[in-house]
Structure formats: structure tokens, C-alpha cells
Amino acid sequence: MKKLLLSFFLSFCVISFVFAQDKVISGKITTPIAEPIPGASISVKGSPAIGTQTDASGVYKLSVPANTKILVISFIGYKSKEVAVSGSTINASLEEENTTLTDVVVVGYGTQSKRDLKGSQSSVSAKDLENLPVTSFEQALQGKAAGVLISAQNGKLGQGITVRVRGAASVTAGSEPLYIVDGIPITSGDLSSTSAPTSALADINTNDIESIEVLKDASASAIYGARASNGVVLITTKQGKVGKTTINFSALGGISTPSNHREFLDAQQYVQILRRAGDGAANQDFLNGDYATLAAAKAAYSASVESRLTRYSAGNTDYQTYKINSNWEAASFQNNPVTQQYDLNLTGGNEKTKFYIGGQALDQQGIIVGNSYKRYSGRLNLTNKVTDFIEVGVNLNFSNSINNRLSNDNAFSSPLQSVALSPITPFIDPRSGLISGTLPGAASNYPVYYNPFIGIDNSSYKATVYRTIGKAFANVNLAKGLKFSTEFSIDNLNQNEEAYYGALTFRNTGTSNGDGLNISTFVINTNTNNFFSYNTNIGDKGKFDAILGTSYQKSTTKYSTIEGQDFPSDSYIKLGSAATKVTATSNESAFSFLSYFFRANYKYNDRYLVGFSVRADGSSRFGANNKYGYFPAGSLAWIASEEDFLKTSETISLLKVRASYGLTGNAQIGNYSARGLFSGTGAYGGSAGQIPSQIANPDLTWEKTTQLDLGLDFGILKNRITGTFDYYQKKTTELLLNVPIPQTTGFSIKTQNLGKLTNTGYELGINTENFVGAFKWSTALTASINNNKITDLGGQVLNTNEINAAIAGQPIGVFYLPEYAGVNPANGDAIYYLNTVDANGNVNRTTTNDINQAQRIFAGNPNPKYIFGINNSFTYKNFDLSVFLQGVSGNKIFNAGGQYMSASASNGYDNQTADQMAYWDKPGDITLVPEPRLFYANGVGNSTRYLSDGKYIRLKTLTLGYTFTPEVLSKIKLSKLRIFATAQNLATITGYKGWDPEVNADYQSTNINQGVDFYSAPQPRVISFGINIGL
């Protein structure tokens, strides 16, 4: 193999060119308004090897053969021009390219003209990402790339965002795309020590990003082989530009509010429904024979209910007059939290050295009390031409973020869980003058639950991240068209999570003298890429390019956790002061990938394109038998508009059809999933112990996805209307599945290659220039349909949360629930359809009050089938306005908190949503809310009762800007000045009754567990004002 590679490279290197040169031409290349274009290339037509570039002032000098007739002048972003040679001075002006279709886009290990792409990839450029009050760039990407579903789990800052490219391609292995920043696979994913995920991607400053490419089909992504089946996101950061150093400063400041509120019962309603629930339960006890008379039962319950109401009313009878009417929901949100963002960047360079320096300070306060996020980041991208054929450079990104986090959605200490507290409970306990539930006093059972507001003042969870991503690289032009690139990078992530729970949080932590946690996470991810790229012309009309290279990545993660209790006082929060140390652990885990890759493209006559790529990937994660996998892909395209029959068309300016097919893989499983393991975590009573921790599967191998993509790119009316349309069929086999095994084995799951799923869909992207001229109006639309279906799971049903399931024949995460039939008008029982199927296939639609007897049905898909985004941009004179709408459809949402908050007071003393007042009260009542029966759990089991439609359309961004004219600018000595106002999540139309339809409770989110709401915070509505200044 080694020898083979070597000889292959050698064969590339021997090609060299020698020409006789006997004539010198010089000149200047400019824009139409006579600005010089530095770096433009000038070459002899037919002999591209004879060429040069313009210097910083746009001037060039080139020796050419005496018989040279025509020069070709080109520069990225401008239309190429052919100029006839006459005399020794040739000046030319290049016109700007006005269509995106000829842009150069970033692809794996290189760049390519967009026109020559044969695969499917979505491009989003800086102008669509900048100046938005977001924490992480994925939020800015939402709705802007067709086929890419981006959804936040909740409205907490810096927390998990789910990204799915063309649907989930896996069931229990990871389904997140691979993230590549400037050629480097960076550490991504969740490094949170709580069950609520954070994202390592949040360390990247969105405003440093020049472009994002989402590689979707196999031909685009298979160059990343074993990790490409969930798509690849290529992020390219801003680079230096030749010319005078420009300094840009931006500032953005805004105020956030929750995008929606949810209504709960007031004091009067709360007292009413609980009293009624006591009566309801008394009636059941009486019917069960526990009491001799109904009156006796009611009396007993009434005494109990009144005593509880007294307790929750701070021990007095104020509840009887509804004197206290606390709105805990409203109290969970902060007053006018501020978002601020300041960016300063410098770009410049000359023909030898170019640089980009960017810095940002970001300070966001969340809508939920106690939540904030700060980030300071800097970037230096530098390149230097050492000689005429060697270019070296560094990309350096460093950042420091501080996230004051909240408890996960499932914790009593999560502020929004305070909605469960009673409206009759005062915020301040009049007996102590302290926040209700604060010690000393009635803290252990007052209020109903631990009051999260105690935690706001008496606890903290701060995650501090120091991140450095550094890359050094060199590009060596070995010969005409042959380049060697080598890059080495280290992505170092240091995270420290510090938590302290003060003595007053006792009811939550169970420790009376404080509890402190200190968790350190250290990830070092090194990567090296070494590859040759080659391009040449073959004959007059043929163009060939290829890359060949290797890549090696190793990533090591180390954790350590210490926890201590019993602090002298809450003034001491560091663990040195803890009298008792309760946890001290450390862990380490690592993986590596060794890869070889090759890609070749051939273009004939500017219209016939063919491409092939293959990658061989080896990973430490798999067993010895299956360490390597091979991932080939091929593609074809035909630019029909180059053919004579269309070339002259006035209407059709571009028509390209393309097809690709290939294989990609997925390796997002645990680092040691193939092995049978024992763990030393079996300590008991102070003695060390070991326990079996994992069952072996030596045959474990890659999850494989084959993908077919058929696409069409078009431009109409001189590219006033451009568009792209794709159909894809993605088939994943040998799923990396955590298969439930009989627990009688002592294990509950085994990771194995079992099962199949498919994603098929359509994507449409259309850009139109509706009006050009003084009033400009352009529209960008993305829309996609994805059909996800699991076709085989080996007969397994994965249903861990008893809500979502993975089951053959259904989309992943399908809601699998008993079907709620409403309320029996005769007695107020919650009833369910039996839905049993007899031998003839007839479904029994009779009802039962026993949820156990009701068969589960496939009640809906938590993943949107349709996603879309539409942006309309208007400019008139100095004003610009953009209106961006985004939405999803075809999905459902399950309110898992419903069993507590919408339970017709049948499940305890939790406050109820306002709709529960429509409860069944007397025989004959027709309602969907069952009779309140305290602690009788009437209708609270997981069923379609808590399922609702999840579609929404949202006015995601509305921006109005004003750019000052050059006349004004010249007076104030600025090169650019723009002021703007932008609103995020201004309005949402949805049928969902909860806080926000963009939801998936953080603590339980998996590929399967989607679309579940559990006291999850809504997205913020951020109204902000900003300024961009250019010096």
C-alpha cells in the first residue's frame, strides 16, 4: 500500500512544463469603476500554464510566446474576460459576477465552482448569519438550508440544538452531522455533566463565519466516509483580503421576552378544582367500600384537602378568600433581560501576507431567571507566501464562555417547574418574611414542591469553557496544477463546571449544609490532513482535477468530578471547605480515525461532468475484524444550457441535471462499544468492587447509508430566478442499534448492527430577484419534505420513555400511545379506545376506563415532515428590510408534563393549566377533561390526551436597516455606517397550546425521544438594535 501510494505521487510529480517565452505584456486590471483588482489571473488562452497574477495595485507583467493571440483574465467573483493581444500593454476591466451559480464554494478538501458541483450541498453565506442575537451559529442557520432541520430543545441559553440533515439516519447511534471548521473535524456534541445537553459548537463566533456548506448527498459528503451519513457541515471562517486594512465594528443590544406564556389556574379556580377533586376521590373510595357512606368519605377528604390548602396558603385561611393569587409562571421569567454583542474585526494584507483578526464580546441574559451566557472570543487567520510556490498560514481561534446554567427541565429546581406551585402560596412566606419554602420554618412540605426560586438566590451552576482551535498549514505548488497541502491542528477544549447548592436548598439536595460540585472536562482533538490536489486540461475541452491524501485524527476526553458536602457556611463554596467529600471520580476515553481519500472530477466541454470519490476509514471504535470501511461515491451532471439548443435561449440561462450515488457511514457510538467490559464501579460498603458493565459484540461495524440523489439546477431570465431541486433516497442498513436484550442476562442493551431505515425526500431552493433597480426585492425560499421510515428493527420495539417508539414500518420516534377517547359522560371516568384487532383485522373501537386494556396506536410523528424558510429582502434607497419566516409541519408534540399540569387535579396538588376547569362535574357532562379525583390518576396515563399538532410558522427574523450614503460618510470619515433594528421570534402561529412548539425536553432527548415537552422554556423574543461601522 505504502509503495503504491509513493509511486502514485511520484507519477504526479514528474510532470513539468517548459516553454519558450519571447514577448512581454503588461497592464492593469480594474473594476468597471477603475478600482484595481489585486490577485487577478492572466494567462494565455490555450496555454493556461503561462500565466501570472496582478499585484496589489492591479498591475501585471507576463512573458508570452510571440504567437500569443488572446489572454484570459479572471478573478473570483468576476466574469472572466478574453482580450485580444495587440501591443505590449493590455488593460482590462472585469465585471462583477451577478449570479451565485458561478461562485466558488468550499467542498471537502478543496473548493469548486458552484457551476461544476455534481452533488447536493446547501450554501449559506455570512450575510445570512451575521448580526443576529444568537448564541450558536446553528440558530442562525435555521430555515436557511433546504433539507436541514434545526430545532432548539428549549429556550435556555447555550443548550442543545438538534440538527438533522435529510432526516435521522440512525436509530440509536448519533444523528448529528460531522462539523468541519476550515478543514478540521472539530469537537462537537454535548459535554454537559447534567442530563441537559450543551453544545461544543457554541464556542464559535457566528460573525467569524464566511460561509457554511451543508454537504447532503453521497457525492458531496462521501469524501468524509465513515462519518458522513448524517451530512457534513463545512464551516469556513473569514480570510484576509489584499488591500488597505479595513476595520469593522458592530454593536448589537437587545431585550428578550418569552415568545409565549401559558395560562394556569388562579387561586379561586385552584381551590375549586381541588375541593372537587377531594369529592371525586371520596366517591371512588366510597364505591370501593372503604367508607360506609359517601358523606363520611367526603368529610374525610374535605378535612384532608382543607388542611392541605391551609398548608399551601402559608398556614392560614387566606385561600378561602383568594387573597393571595401568585402567578408563578410569570415569575419564572426575568424582567427585560439584556443581550449585548460587540464585534471588532480587521481585514487586510498584501500580495505576500493576508490576515483576518476578529474579536467578539457577547453577553446574553436568558428569559428564565438565573440564566445567562457570556463569551469572549478572538480569531486570527493569517497566510503568508513564503516563496512563489509555498504558502503557509495559521488559523487560531480562542474563546472563553461562561454559562450560568439552569437545572434540566425535569428538576424541581428548574424555574419553570414553579408553575406546579399553588397560586394560593405567597412568594414570600408571611411567617418568616423569606421566600416561601425557605428554612427555617415550614420548608419540608411547603409549598407543594421545592420552590425553585430558593435556588435562584442560593445556588449556582456555572460552566466555563476555554477553547482553542489552532491550525497550521502549508500549501506547496509542486508543479503547474499540482499542489500539496498539509495541515495540522489541535482543538483543545477545557470545561469547568462548578455548582454550589446552599444550605437553604436542602429540600432539593437533601443536604443541610451545602453541596458543591466541581467537574472538569478536557478534550484534546488532534488532526492532520496531507493531500495532493491536481488539475489539468485534457485536450481543448477536457478539464480534470483530483485529490489524494490521508488524514489521522485522535481525540481524548478526560473528566474528573468531585463533590463535597457540609460547608461551614454558604460563604464558602469551594470544595476545600467541604467537611465531607461524597464523589471523586475521573474518567478517560479516546478514539482515533485513520483515513485515506481520493477524488477525481472530469468536465468535458463545460457541460458534461463526472466525478468519483472514495475514502477508506479505519476507527479504533470497531472490532479487529471490521476496523476498516470503504466509502465510494460517483456522480454525473449535464449542463444542458451549454448545448446549442439552449445556449441562445433568452429565458433559460442555466439548466443542469445531476445524479449521484454513493455510500457513507456512521460511527457515532461509544468509544468501546464493541467490547465486553467490567467496570470498577461496584464498590459496596466501603469495599472496592467490580461489575460487568457491557456485553461484547466483536462483530460491530459501521452503519452504512447508500444515497441516491437526483437534482436539477436552473436559472431563468438571466438568472433573475435561480433554483435547485433535489430528490433523494437515503437507505441506512446495519444500523448501530442499542438493542434491548432480555434483562435476565444481567444487561439491558447490546450495541449491534441490526435494522434498516430510509429517508426519502424532496428539496427545493429558489432565489428570485423580483425587482431590480431603485427598489430591490429579492426572495429566497427553501422547502423540503422528508419521509423517514424504519423498515427493519429485527422485531424490536424501542420504547424507553413509553411515549416515543422506534418500530419497523413507522418513522423514528413515532408516538406510540393508547388512544384517549375522552370522558364517560355517565361517571367522569377517563376512557380509552380498546383498539384491539380481531382475527379478521377488525378494530374494536369500544372504550375502556382501564388504560392497560387499550392497545397503543401510532399516533403521530414527532419529526416534522415539511420544513421551510422564506426570506424576503427589500432595499429602497438607503433602507433595507428583511422578513424571514420559518416553519415546520407534519409533526406532533406530546406534553409529558400533562400528567401533572393538565391532570384535572387527579394527580396531586400541582397547579393546573387553565383548560382543566372544563372538567366533568356531573352525569351528562360532555367534556374531554375527566372528573377531578385527588390522587386517583383519572386519565393521567400517557395517552393521546396529551398529544397535539406541532406545526408552526414563525416570523423568525425581521430586520430593518439604514445605510448612510457615501456623502455623509466622507464627512464623518467612515467607510461604512449602518444602523438596524432586528426582531427574533416576533410572532408564531401554531395550534400547540404549550409554551412553544419548538421543543424537546432537554433531559430526555435522544434520536427516538423527540417532540416531548416537559416544563420546557420557550424561545426568546429578542428585539435588538445595532450598528455596523467601517473605518
Partner 1 sequence: MKKTYIYKLIFASMLLSAASSCKKALEINPVDTIEQSQALLTSKDVEVALVGSYSAFGSRNFYGGRPFLMADFLANTNAIEWYGTYEELTQTINKSLLKTNTFVDNVWADGYTAINDANNVIAAIAKVDAAKKNKVEGEAKFIRGASYFELVRLFSKAYNDGSPATNLGVPIVLTPTTAITDASYVSRATVAAVYTQAITDLTDAEAKLPATNGFFATKSSAAGMLARLYLQMGNYAAAAAAANRVITSNNYSLNAAFIDAFPAMGSTPGVNSSEDIFAMQVTTLTGFNGFNEFYGSSTYGGRGDAVISQAWITSTYAANDDRINAFYDDGDMFTSKYANVYGNVPVMRLSEMYLIRAEANVRLAPAAPVGGRTPLQDLAVVRSRAGLTTTTATLADILNERKLELAFEGFALHDAKRTQTNIGSIAWNANNLVFPIPQREMDANKNLVQNAGY
The verdict on 687 binding partner 1 (CB under 8 A) reads yes
Name the minimum Å distance from CB 251 to partner 1: 46
The verdict on 175 binding partner 1 (CB under 8 A) reads no
The verdict on 992 binding partner 1 (CB under 8 A) reads no
Q: Under a CB-based contact definition with an 8 Å cutoff, are residues 982 and 1015 in contact? A: no
Name residues contacting partner 1, limited to 817-856 (CB under 8 A).
850-852
CB atoms within 10 A of CB 307: 10
Q: Distance between CA atoms of 305 and 422, rounded to whole angstroms? A: 13
Name the minimum Å distance from CB 542 to partner 1: 27
In sequence order, the 6+-apart residues with CB closer than 8 A to the CB of 1019 are 152, 155, 259, 985, 996, 998
CA atoms within 13 A on the CB side of 239: 14
CA atoms within 13 A on the CB side of 874: 9
The verdict on 565 binding partner 1 (CB under 8 A) reads yes
The verdict on 430 binding partner 1 (CB under 8 A) reads no
Provide the grid cell at 853.
Answer: 386494556
Name the minimum Å distance from CB 589 to partner 1: 7
Stretch that binds partner 1, among 145-153, 330-338, 789-797, 872-880 (CB under 8 A): 789-797
Name residues contacting partner 1, limited to 894-923 (CB under 8 A).
899-900, 907-910
Sole binder of partner 1 in the list 583, 651, 844, 846 (CB under 8 A): 583
Name the minimum Å distance from CB 282 to partner 1: 14
Cβ-based nearer residue to partner 1, 24 or 677:
677
Name residues contacting partner 1, limited to 721-760 (CB under 8 A).
740-748, 750
Provide the grid cell at 186.
Answer: 472539530
Q: Distance between CA atoms of 651 and 679, rounded to whole angstroms? A: 69
Name the minimum Å distance from CB 496 to partner 1: 20
The verdict on 303 binding partner 1 (CB under 8 A) reads no
Q: Distance between CA atoms of 725 and 373, rounded to whole angstroms? A: 39
Q: Is the dihedral of CA 636, 642, 645, 647 positive or negative?
A: positive
Provide the grid cell at 480.
Answer: 503547474
Cβ-based nearer residue to partner 1, 123 or 551:
551
Name the minimum Å distance from CB 590 to partner 1: 5
Whether the bond into 447 is cis, omega within 30 of 0: yes
Sole binder of partner 1 in the list 24, 691, 772, 918 (CB under 8 A): 691
Q: Under a CB-based contact definition with an 8 Å cutoff, are residues 820 and 943 in contact? A: yes
The verdict on 187 binding partner 1 (CB under 8 A) reads no
Q: Which of 600, 580, 822, 609 is nearest to 713 (CA)?
A: 609
Name residues contacting partner 1, limited to 354-413 (CB under 8 A).
387, 389-390
The verdict on 441 binding partner 1 (CB under 8 A) reads no
The verdict on 630 binding partner 1 (CB under 8 A) reads no
The verdict on 668 binding partner 1 (CB under 8 A) reads no
The verdict on 1003 binding partner 1 (CB under 8 A) reads no
Backbone φ and ψ for 553, nearest 5 degrees, come out as: -130, 135
Cβ-based nearer residue to partner 1, 695 or 857:
695
Q: Distance between CA atoms of 863 and 888, rounded to whole angstroms? A: 9
Three-state SS across 789-826? Answer: EEEECCCCCECCCCCEEECCCCCCCEEEEECEEEECCC
Q: Distance between CA atoms of 988 and 956, rounded to whole angstroms? A: 8
Cβ-based nearer residue to partner 1, 59 or 937:
937
Cβ-based nearer residue to partner 1, 434 or 594:
594
Name residues contacting partner 1, limited to 10-39 (CB under 8 A).
13
Name residues contacting partner 1, limited to 592-611 (CB under 8 A).
592, 594
Site string for partner 1, 319-338 (x = CB under 8 A): --------------------
The verdict on 85 binding partner 1 (CB under 8 A) reads no
Q: Under a CB-based contact definition with an 8 Å cutoff, are residues 88 and 25 in contact? A: yes
Stretch that binds partner 1, among 172-180, 440-448, 709-717, 976-984 (CB under 8 A): 440-448
Cβ-based nearer residue to partner 1, 537 or 799:
799
Name residues contacting partner 1, limited to 934-963 (CB under 8 A).
935-937, 940-942
The verdict on 440 binding partner 1 (CB under 8 A) reads no
Sole binder of partner 1 in the list 85, 251, 361, 590 (CB under 8 A): 590
Provide the grid cell at 420.
Answer: 406546579
Cβ-based nearer residue to partner 1, 246 or 671:
671
Cβ-based nearer residue to partner 1, 440 or 773:
440
Question: Angle, to 10 degrees, between the axis of helix 294-312 and the axis of helix 267-287?
Answer: 150
Q: Which of 419, 583, 416 is nearest to 499 (CA)?
A: 583
Cβ-based nearer residue to partner 1, 53 or 530:
530
Name the minimum Å distance from CB 563 to partner 1: 10
Cβ-based nearer residue to partner 1, 330 or 691:
691
Q: Distance between CA atoms of 759 and 503, rounded to whole angstroms? A: 52
Name residues contacting partner 1, limited to 232-291 (CB under 8 A).
288-290
Stretch that binds partner 1, among 80-88, 195-203, 579-587, 655-663 (CB under 8 A): 579-587
Stretch that binds partner 1, among 219-227, 681-689, 711-719, 952-960 (CB under 8 A): 681-689
Q: How many residues bind partner 1 (CB under 8 A)?
A: 103
Name residues contacting partner 1, limited to 790-809 (CB under 8 A).
795-797, 799-800, 802
In sequence order, the 6+-apart residues with CB closer than 8 A to the CB of 80 are 72, 73, 74, 94
Provide the grid cell at 535.
Answer: 488539475
Beta bridge partners of 585: 561
Cβ-based nearer residue to partner 1, 17 or 389:
389
Stretch that binds partner 1, among 146-154, 354-362, 600-608, 615-623 (CB under 8 A): 615-623
Q: Under a CB-based contact definition with an 8 Å cutoff, are residues 324 and 423 in contact? A: yes
Question: How far is the CA of 895 from the CAs of 867, 1012, 1013, in angstroms?
Answer: 22, 6, 5
Cβ-based nearer residue to partner 1, 263 or 850:
850
Name the minimum Å distance from CB 661 to partner 1: 29
Name the minimum Å distance from CB 859 to partner 1: 15
Name residues contacting partner 1, limited to 520-549 (CB under 8 A).
528, 530
Sole binder of partner 1 in the list 79, 675, 718, 731 (CB under 8 A): 675
User: What is the b/e burial string over 685-697, where b = at least 16 CB atoms within 10 angstroms of the residue's CB?
Assistant: eeeeeeeeebbeb
The verdict on 490 binding partner 1 (CB under 8 A) reads no
In sequence order, the 6+-apart residues with CB closer than 8 A to the CB of 957 are 132, 882, 883, 884, 982, 983, 984
In sequence order, the 6+-apart residues with CB closer than 8 A to the CB of 571 are none
Backbone φ and ψ for 127, nearest 5 degrees, come out as: -65, -20
Cβ-based nearer residue to partner 1, 643 or 850:
850
The verdict on 442 binding partner 1 (CB under 8 A) reads yes
Name the minimum Å distance from CB 323 to partner 1: 22
The verdict on 690 binding partner 1 (CB under 8 A) reads yes
Name residues contacting partner 1, limited to 491-510 (CB under 8 A).
506-507, 510
Pairing of strands 1012-1013, 892-895: parallel
The verdict on 645 binding partner 1 (CB under 8 A) reads no
Q: Is 587 exposed, middle or buried (0-12, 13-18, 19+ CB in 10 A)?
A: exposed
Whether the bond into 692 is cis, omega within 30 of 0: no
The verdict on 550 binding partner 1 (CB under 8 A) reads yes
Sole binder of partner 1 in the list 478, 524, 881, 914 (CB under 8 A): 478
Q: Under a CB-based contact definition with an 8 Å cutoff, are residues 560 and 519 in contact? A: yes
CB atoms within 10 A of CB 35: 11
Beta bridge partners of 376: 361, 400
The verdict on 580 binding partner 1 (CB under 8 A) reads yes
